[in-house]
């Protein structure tokens, strides 16, 4: 008679990516975590002052085959009831304004340049896309270090 062995399935790590507007950097991080680490991470994103999904962020993610167009820009207040394992702030403003989470929730900070400032810096859209792609690739490299970087 064959014995049936039941393996306990480890729950996915709940990770919140937080930035100011939840329009670009945190959306990219959520998309990468879902696409590259979805077997071990349940990603979320939110913002201190959400302002909608950035169309150029959607565009540069689509260039590499990741569709974030259905993700929604949300306030940190919409996710405070979720028991996160980690909160990753992706900009200095979010780090300074991140709400307090229970002690067991690990907090880490990785600051990435805000590519959405291109209009203020009088760049052309093509110049902005170069910046968006660079930030996208930096965020991808960071997400690839998860969850190992959480153990530091």
Catalytic one of 16, 19, 28, 58: 19
Q: In this structure, what token pair is assigned to residue 77?
A: 């207040």
Q: In this structure, what token pair is assigned to residue 1?
A: 């008679």
CB 89 within 8 A of CB 13: no
Find residue 108's DSSP bridge partners: 88
Catalytic one of 91, 94, 129, 146: 91
Q: How far apart are CA 83 and CA 130, in angstroms?
A: 36
Is 105 one of the annotated active-site residues of the chain? no
Catalytic one of 36, 79, 98, 105: 98
The set of residues, in sequence order, having a beta carbon less than 8 Å from that of 12 and lying 6+ positions away, is: 39, 40, 41, 42
Is 98 one of the annotated active-site residues of the chain? yes
Is 19 one of the annotated active-site residues of the chain? yes
What amino acid positions are annotated as catalytic residues?
A: 19, 91, 98
């Amino acid at each position: 008679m064959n014995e049936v062995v039941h393996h306990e399935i480890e729950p996915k790590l709940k990770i919140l990516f937080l930035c100011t507007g939840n329009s670009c950097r945190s959306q990219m991080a959520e998309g990468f975590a879902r696409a590259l680490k979805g077997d071990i991470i349940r990603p979320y994103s939110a913002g201190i002052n959400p302002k909608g999904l950035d169309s150029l962020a959607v565009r540069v993610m689509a260039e590499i085959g990741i569709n974030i167009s259905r993700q929604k820009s949300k306030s940190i207040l919409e996710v405070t009831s979720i028991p996160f394992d980690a909160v990753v702030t992706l900009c200095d403003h979010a780090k300074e304004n991140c709400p307090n989470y229970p002690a067991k929730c690990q907090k880490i900070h990785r600051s990435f340049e805000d590519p959405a400032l291109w209009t203020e810096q009088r760049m052309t859209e093509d110049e902005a896309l170069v910046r968006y792609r660079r930030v996208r690739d930096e965020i991808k490299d960071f997400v690839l270090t998860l969850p190992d970087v959480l153990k530091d």
